[in-house]
Amino acid sequence: MRTKDRVKSQDQHILNLAEIVGGSRSILYQKEDLLAYDCDGFTIHKHLPKAVVFPKNTQEVAEIVKYCSENNLPFLARGAGTGLSGGAIPLNGEIIISMVRMKKLISVDLENRRAVVEPGFVNLKLTNSISDKGYYYAPDPSSQYCCTIGGNVAENAGGAHCLKYGVTTNHILGLEVVMPNGEIVEIGKDGIPDAPGYDLLGLITGSEGTLGIVTKITVRVLKNPEGKQTVLAYFDRVEDGSQAVSDIISAGIVPAALEMMDKTAIEGVEAAAFPVGHPKDIEAVLLIEVDGIAAGIGEQIDQILEVCRKRNVREVRAAGSEEERARWWANRKTGFGAMGAISPDYLVQDGVIPRSKLPEVLSRISQISGESGLRIANIFHAGDGNLHPLVLFDARIPGESEKALEAGSQCLKVCADVGGTITGEHGVGIEKREEMRFVFTEEEIAAQTEIREVFNPHNLLNAGKLFPSPSRCAEVKKEMKAQAIS
Amino acid sequence: MRTKDRVKSQDQHILNLAEIVGGSRSILYQKEDLLAYDCDGFTIHKHLPKAVVFPKNTQEVAEIVKYCSENNLPFLARGAGTGLSGGAIPLNGEIIISMVRMKKLISVDLENRRAVVEPGFVNLKLTNSISDKGYYYAPDPSSQYCCTIGGNVAENAGGAHCLKYGVTTNHILGLEVVMPNGEIVEIGKDGIPDAPGYDLLGLITGSEGTLGIVTKITVRVLKNPEGKQTVLAYFDRVEDGSQAVSDIISAGIVPAALEMMDKTAIEGVEAAAFPVGHPKDIEAVLLIEVDGIAAGIGEQIDQILEVCRKRNVREVRAAGSEEERARWWANRKTGFGAMGAISPDYLVQDGVIPRSKLPEVLSRISQISGESGLRIANIFHAGDGNLHPLVLFDARIPGESEKALEAGSQCLKVCADVGGTITGEHGVGIEKREEMRFVFTEEEIAAQTEIREVFNPHNLLNAGKLFPSPSRCAEVKKEMKAQAIS
């Protein structure tokens, strides 16, 4: 057979998988090819997969999954590989099921405000496909120009405009999922606010690829807001900037986005691809966008400016054109990568805090920076209290990677201690497994792993992610079972 | 001991439970007292509980649950008993754990826009407690003047304003839950858009009291909208009214509420406690409310009126005062009960459809009415496609209850067939167990019952609700297990 001829592996599994996906152009199995798949956006852990397969449709995904299950081969799904917590890293030499060829926009139904996409469809393309008709897809992670909606579902991705519009889970109306035994199920009914039965849609969304592989997604699309205004507000003191954030929200204003960058972050973004001329000597900048009915925009901006003035804002700029606004957003959205301009390496963290704790937490992060001797930049979704401390380090200096990981973990501890949590949108993945203990008891973790077992009893799908090392959990589970009344 | 002296039961379980809750004033066990607890708002099935206990705090709930588990006594939680699908009916002679004494408003934190309540706290009291500071709690089921927030969480209750603001699950930030083994767990962290781990908050919310008993709830509160306007629009043809609903939403307007009543419903509400003078000869009335920034309200109303005119609206009235607006809402919100003015009995159903199918589905419901010989009134959340057909019948006529149940079920089938589902806010409970098969495969139902087993392995908590009779499920599960690869 032609397929088998062309795949030159000695490994029967590779040959069989190649046959499922239709030949050598749909499978990678040689080391030099696999190297590109040894990590995702979390680059600190690396592992080679056994192979990467590229199915074209749900049926092929189901056959691959069935084959892996029957042959006890670990497997996981991968979108664009932009995830920041290591969710797509093949820790156990997995078969990676790449979803990039399942990238169709299946249908758009503007009357009922929904669209159906394949998981490999790129986030920004959805908005681009419907913007001429006045609609858009709200969740906008900074990687939206290349990340896939399937990956967004796995990680329950957020983005700058999630303050007003909610994260991915708030926009998912239905899913088709290949379960770990290869069964294809439809979960959720299109557009139903409170569907009968348990909320499996919510359970699958954000489960970081540990419960099933999503093969079709029905999303909500929104009408473009009639009006929009964007301002930059510069503060001499970081406390004033963070207090202004807290005040804006307490005043009852819900901006579409309310982003903050501190001095170190500004140094980075101004040295990178999209400088916008932020003053060099300020301590904090807020990027504030309001949208909605045109007639109400001016009033909201006036209220925001009044709050900023009370908090000693030095200067405020309003975007004069759509082009200027787009540039400001490019400056912000490429901010993580921009750290490369001022540091050989960086580690991004992702904690969440009650907004009112912002001044306190930023000051504690600054202490951690001092103690570790590493600079920490802050670029974040201030409006919803979702912090992104960026720990700057140099991996070539022995011990500095470990120091950065430790400083990142300390930042998460601070977030947990003030009543927040350890991830707002990047997920737990490999990176924050141990930090799960900052926010969950052993019993709570054990209960969650039991849910994973219902879906994924042989733990072949994306094993080793999301939960801390199982030793203690296993003990707890045994105790729980012993205590259970029979 | 004094407690035992005063409880005059021969039943040792009653004596022991009385001791947990502190004596005879906190337990009911005599038949004449139990009669009040033999059903909830779904009055077609009735069963007596074994006893009703009234705990005062989480610790007592946990002790009761532990006692029931250890002694193999079925149990369930009950709020105000306003549920419409029978979720609180003690099918198996349960111990009912009434939450009405756990009714404290624990704390309000307006800066972070949240409040913490006990489950027996009445929905409307929350808004009443914070309205003077300009805030409110959004989910507004029609029973909000007496239903409890704990019950709202169990059923994932909706309400008229859920079109714009979402159902209960969109406003729950954290839960304290007593698990079926008596363990107390905290689920969800306050106000985190995408908490780490699986979305257990979403899983518990709307699980109809089958996974655990909620003992503390952190909810989101919202700032009052700056402006508000309410109009009534009268149509001579029901098709025009339902087409106007579809057109308003397609035009990109999201009203705060968009309710519809048909001719039979109008006859009922005008004959009941809060008549507002709807014309007697119209076929449909829309109650439309818009809110938001004051400056934008007029424009939205103008757009809505234009849509209505295109659909041949006969007359439009705008509320001239807050008093008039409140009266219109009372007329609408007491609509189900108002059916009592024109029919000895009524059965309310709760289907959801894509909005664009509204004209088609209303016409099919009218056919079902014709075929069954029973009048069906429609009072519903038109904006989000959440229908409430009210089947009018007379239980004294032999066979008519069965006919009503059958007509109700047919309405749900129509909803499922056009791509909708069988409940939008009332839950499945006892009432719609068999109709779950309209929207789920046996495999999907089996997967859900497995999740129940993780939480509730001995099925003592609210057994027999939410899923169809288990026979077929059990078989499917066996098959699934046999197929599982070991």
Quick: pLDDT tens for B154-186: 999 999 988 888 899 989 999 999 999 999 888
CA B46 to chain centre: 19
Q: Is A200 helix (H, G, I), strand (E, B) or coil?
A: helix
Q: pLDDT value at position B191?
A: 52
* Whether the predicted pLDDT of B482 surpasses 80: no
Pairing between β-strand A135-136 and β-strand A222-223 as defined by DSSP bridges: antiparallel
Helix (H) or strand (E) segment spanning residue A459: none
* B296 with A299: Cβ contact below 8 A: no
Helix (H, G, I), strand (E, B) or coil at A257: strand
Whether A198 and B451 lie within 8 Å, measured CB to CB: yes
CB B200 within 8 A of CB B454: no
Q: Between chains, do A422 and B196 touch, taking CB under 8 Å as contact?
A: yes
Residues of B in contact with A485 (CB under 8 A): 69-70, 72, 181, 458
Residue of B nearest to A68 (CA): B485
Beta bridge partners, A390, equal: A348, A377
* B226: closest chain A residue by CA: A252
Interface contacts A/B by beta carbons within 8 Å: 238
The CA distance from A451 to the nearest CA of chain B, in Å, is 7
Query: What type of residue sits at position A213?
Result: I
Q: What is the pLDDT of residue A186?
A: 83
- The CATH code for residues B343-439 is 3.30.70.2740
Q: Which residue of A has its CA nearest to B355?
A: A112
Q: Cβ of A193 and B424 within 8 Å? A: yes
Q: Name chain B contacts of A199, Cβ cutoff 8 Å.
A: 156, 169, 199, 202-203, 205-207
Q: What is the CATH number of domain B105-223?
A: 3.30.465.10
| Euclidean distance between CA atoms B156 and B257, whole angstroms | 18
Query: Cβ distance B286 to B260 under 8 Å?
Result: yes
Domain B225-342 has CATH 3.30.70.2190: yes
Which residues on adjacent β-strands are paired with residue B380?
Answer: B260
- CA distance to partner chain A, nearest, from residue B49 (Å): 23
In angstroms, the separation between the Cα of residue A194 and the nearest Cα of chain B is: 5
What's phi and psi for A435, nearest 5 deg? -70, -15
**Region B429-447 average pLDDT:** 89
Of B126, B120, B119, B121, nearest to B140 (Cα)? B126
DSSP H or E run through B62: helix B58-70
- In this prediction, residue B156 carries a pLDDT of 94
Residues B468, B437 contacting (CB under 8 angstroms): yes
Strand partners, A220: A114
> Does the fold of domain A105-223 match that of domain A2-98?
no
Model confidence at B219: pLDDT above 90:
yes
How far from each other are the two terminal CA atoms of chain B, in whole angstroms?
57
Alpha helices per DSSP H over B373-469: 400-417, 436-439, 442-455
The answer to whether the CB of B461 falls within 8 A of the CB of B76 is yes
Give the C-alpha separation, B338 to B344, whole Å: 11
Alpha-carbon Rg for chain B, nearest whole angstrom, is 23
8 Å CB contact of B169 and A199: yes
Helices B442-455 and A442-455: crossing angle in degrees, nearest 10, is 160
**ipTM field:** 0.76
- Say how many CA atoms lie within 13 Å of A359 toward its Cβ: 13
Residue of B nearest to A387 (CA): B192
Measured between beta carbons, which residues in chain B are less than 8 angstroms from residue A425? 193-194
User: Is the model's pLDDT at B471 over the cut of 50?
Assistant: no
Residues of A in Cβ contact (< 8 Å) with B419: 189-190
pLDDT the model gives residue A433: 93
Mark the ranges of chain A whose per-residue pLDDT is less than 70: 1-5, 189-195, 470-486
CATH number given to A2-98:
3.30.43.10
Instruction: Name the residue with tokens 């400083």.
Output: A407
User: DSSP strand E in B206-344: where?
Assistant: 213-220, 222-223, 227-235, 257-262, 284-292, 313-318
Name the minimum distance, in Å, from the CA of B76 to any CA of chain A: 18
Beta bridge partners, B108, equal: B115
Higher pLDDT, B81 or A448: B81
Q: Which residues of A touch B166 (CB under 8 A)?
A: 193
The answer to whether the CB atoms of B457 and A484 lie below 8 A apart is yes
CB contact under 8 A, B293 and A294: no
Mean pLDDT within B353-364: 90
Q: Are A436 and A428 in contact (CB under 8 A)?
A: yes
CB contact under 8 A, B354 and A193: no
Q: Where are any strands of DSSP class E within B132-202? A: 135-136, 172-178, 184-187
Q: What is the pLDDT of residue A3?
A: 46
Cβ–Cβ gap A197/B466 under 8 Å = yes
Give yes or no for a contact between A473 and A446, defined as CB atoms under 8 angstroms apart: yes
pLDDT over 60 at B485, yes or no: no
Judged against a pLDDT cut of 60, whether residue B192 lies above it is answered with no
CATH of domain A226-342: 3.30.70.2190
The pLDDT tens digits of the residues spanning B17-27 come to 999 999 889 99
CA distance A90 to chain B (A): 19
- Cα–Cα distance between B167 and B154 in angstroms, integer? 12
In this prediction, residue A442 carries a pLDDT of: 85
Quick one: tokens of A216?
A: 């079709």
Instruction: Kindly report, residue by residue over B382-391, the tens digit of the pLDDT.
Output: 998 999 999 9
How many angstroms separate the CA of residue A116 from the nearest CA in chain B? 14
- Band of pLDDT at residue B481, cut at 50, 70 and 90: low
Compute the C-alpha angle A85/A91/A96, nearest 5°: 90
pLDDT exceeds cutoff 70 at B379: yes
Q: What was the pLDDT predicted at B151?
A: 98
A345-439 topology per CATH: Alpha-Beta Plaits (3.30.70)
What does the domain layout of chain A look like in residue ranges? 2-98, 105-223, 226-342, 345-439, 442-483
Contact A194 B206 (CB under 8 A): yes
| CB-based contact A103:A120 (threshold 8 Å) | yes
The 3-state DSSP class for residue B203 equals helix
CA-based R_g, chain A, Å: 23
Cα separation, B452 vs A194, in Å, equals 18
DSSP letter at B340 equals G
Cβ contact, residue pair A420, B352, below 8 Å? no
pLDDT for residue B476 is more than 60: no
